[in-house]
Amino acid sequence: MSAKSLLACALATLASACAPPIQRPDPLPEPERVSPQQWASGCTKWDEWDKPAPPYRIHGSTYYVGTCGISAIFIAGEQGHVLIDSGTKAGARVVLDNIGKLGFRPNEIASLLHSHEHFDHTGGHALIKQASGAHVVASRRAVEVLRTGESGPQDPQFGMHDAMEPVGVDVVVDDGDTVRTETATLTALATPGHSPGALSWTWQSCDAAGDCLDIVYADSLSPVSSDDYRFADHPDYVAAYRAGLQTLREVDCDLLLTPHPSASNMVERAAGGSLVGGMSCTQYADAVEARLDQRLAKERAGG
């Protein structure tokens, strides 16, 4: 063999040794097919936040991947998925497992959204971001809470919750801004009240037969606070609170979802085979406003 041939052989061997290995994604298990009734059969109306529950399809590309007690909503897209809420840190592990059970890869989550910035709904954001590389999307008033892991004094529930693992925010959204996948366009609705940075989300989800539903993931919105907080002392906050409730009354709403399944009777509705029907967005907003009015009346009466 000539010196030239030997050199060519050596270079080919070196190139082979230095070439990066072929990367193949880990195989996914066969997707689970769980009905809403099966999910409901393992959960109760008021259930534990971290209690594992199977994932199931809500409608079209929209899935439930949360626990029995805390919702997490997954919207699939071929070029990247959207996840709304992560639950607690322990609950986020259930969420990641459930996404895999559906036949999707967690590292293909493109955007991680939130309802409100308390640890029971965003405490697992750091874990989800680490596992997926997703962009964290947050309302302007939730950015600092997520960045520090602690609520601020403007939150009615300031001092009531455990701190959560901090996570950086990549995208800030305001009322009316959108997050898109190939299958859905999610619109942010500012609905402060339960927390200052709370968001609700609305999108249209269509199934293979072309049946489309307007889905609303309405924030918790209940007027819960620390003992020394008075909503009556914050008229601007109450006005924004009521404006968000009015937004929910006016939005197209075929199917209502909530961060706490118990808030909109999701377990009972799922037990019937479908989440369509039951509590409407208007009924939900009316019930919350009645509680807010009762709270304000009690405060003004010195209670």
Q: Could you read off the pLDDT of 218-235 as tens digits, one per residue?
A: 999 999 999 999 999 999
Higher per-residue pLDDT: 27 or 133 = 133
Report whether 151 contacts 122 (CB < 8 A).
no
- pTM, two decimals, is 0.90
**What's the rounded mean pLDDT across residues 54-70?**
97
- Residue 112 dihedral angles phi and psi, to the nearest 5°: -115, 115
**What's the rounded mean pLDDT across residues 247-270?**
97
Report whether 244 contacts 191 (CB < 8 A).
yes
Rounded-to-integer distance, Cα 150 and Cα 165, Å:
9
Residue 58 pLDDT class (50, 70, 90 cuts): very high
- Most confident by average pLDDT, 153-157, 162-166, 200-204, 227-231: 200-204
Collect all residues with Cβ–Cβ distance below 8 Å to 107 and sequence separation of at least 6: 131, 132, 133
**Position 57 pLDDT exceeds 70:** yes
**Position 6 pLDDT exceeds 80:** no
Rounded-to-integer distance, Cα 67 and Cα 81, Å:
19
Rounded-to-integer distance, Cα 117 and Cα 114, Å:
7
**Position 18 pLDDT exceeds 60:** no
Q: DSSP state, 132?
A: H
Higher per-residue pLDDT: 14 or 104 = 104
> Looking at the annotation, which residues are catalytic?
116, 118, 120-121, 194, 229, 260
**Position 162 pLDDT exceeds 90:** no
pLDDT at 33: 84
